[in-house]
Amino acid sequence: MKDIMTAPFMVEMIRTCTNMYAHGWDERNGGNISLMLEESDVREYGDVNRVLRTIPTGFSAPTLDGKYFLVTGTGKYFKNVQYAPDVNLGLVKLTDGGTNAQLLWGFTDGGKFTSEFPAHMMSHAVRISVNPANRVVMHCHPTNLLAMTYVHTLDEKAFTRTLWQMCTECIVVFPDGVNVLPWMLCGTNEIGEATADKMKTARLVVWAQHGLYGAGVDLDEAFGLIETAEKAAEIYMKIAHLPLVNTITDDQMHLLEGRFGVKAREGYLS
């Protein structure tokens, strides 16, 4: 059996958590990540039949029954993941229609998965129905996107178009746009259900006055989506109080569609 600390999925998870903290997206215990794994990935690094303990999930996710997830822990600081991954991360398998999670590795201090675990799993279920290759759901608190929700309308089309106009690459990186939820109480099934519904049409979902959810086929894609949207929001926050002299026009964005083989969200460009 190979050392799980050498597993590519573990190495990348630790690097991603460390990088997100360094970017200032995950202060204190803010933010969480869940990475879906295949049994073939896990079996190489541990006994999938050796269950350390069973943790109730508080929700039902039949389509994820039997799926494996490497997930950050509740109350854990991203800055500590690189120093004590076995405390701050856990490897679980969903069972009983998703109502229970079997802990196979990690959370050695008796902890459990993030309080946003239901929201993550609901989003996973939706995203794999849209794109079966999706493996990552990532939540964090990017400063400028968060600030933007205080001064910009939360209309999804307007919010998306503003971000697209800030950086040439934006429409290429997230042509599906950004969906937005008004402030809701976090850590509840209600916000999880609302986020999952928004995940049907976009891989980025802004939680107003709170943060952002991003999804992707791997950790790099999810991180890159958030990084690009946050960069656009930073530019917006730097110029929002100034008279706008130039912008990226819809005609120019249509040129980008053709050049990079992407299609902007229907109805978002003239």
Pick the catalytic residue from 27, 39, 116, 227. Answer: 116
Is the C-alpha dihedral spanning 250, 156, 177, 21 positive or negative?
positive
The predicted pLDDT at position 233 comes to 98
**Do 129 and 24 share a domain, yes or no?**
no
161 and 105 fall within a common domain: no
User: Do 213 and 155 share a structural domain?
Assistant: yes
Q: Is the C-alpha dihedral spanning 69, 88, 17, 7 positive or negative?
A: negative
Examine the domain organization and report whether 89 and 10 are in the same domain. Answer: yes
pLDDT in the model for residue 123: 96
Same domain? 64 vs 107:
yes
Tens of pLDDT, residues 152-175: 999 999 999 999 999 999 999 999
Q: Based on the domain organization, do 26 and 146 belong to the same domain?
A: no
For the domain that residue 180 is a member of, what is the CATH number?
A: 3.40.225.10
pLDDT digits (tens, 9 = 90+) for 36-47: 999 999 999 988
212 pLDDT more than 90: yes
| Residue with tokens 């590795």, as numbered in its chain | 105
Other CB atoms within 10 Å distance of the CB of residue 10: 20
Cα 73 off chain centre by:
15
Same domain, 189 and 98: no
Is 12 labeled as catalytic in the residue annotation?
no
- pLDDT greater than 80 at residue 1: no
State the chain's mean pLDDT as an integer.
96
Last residue of a domain, one of 93, 115, 137: 115
Integer CA distances (angstroms), 215 to 123, 135, 163, 183, 253, in order: 8, 8, 18, 20, 24
For position 154, what pLDDT does the model report? 98
**Whole domain around residue 107: which residue ranges?**
1-115
Strand-pair category, 204-207 with 178-181:
parallel
Question: Which residues make Cβ contacts (< 8 Å) with residue 158, sequence separation at least 6?
Answer: 152
Per-residue pLDDT, 187: 85
Total domains in the chain come to: 2
Domain boundary among 115, 140, 156: 115
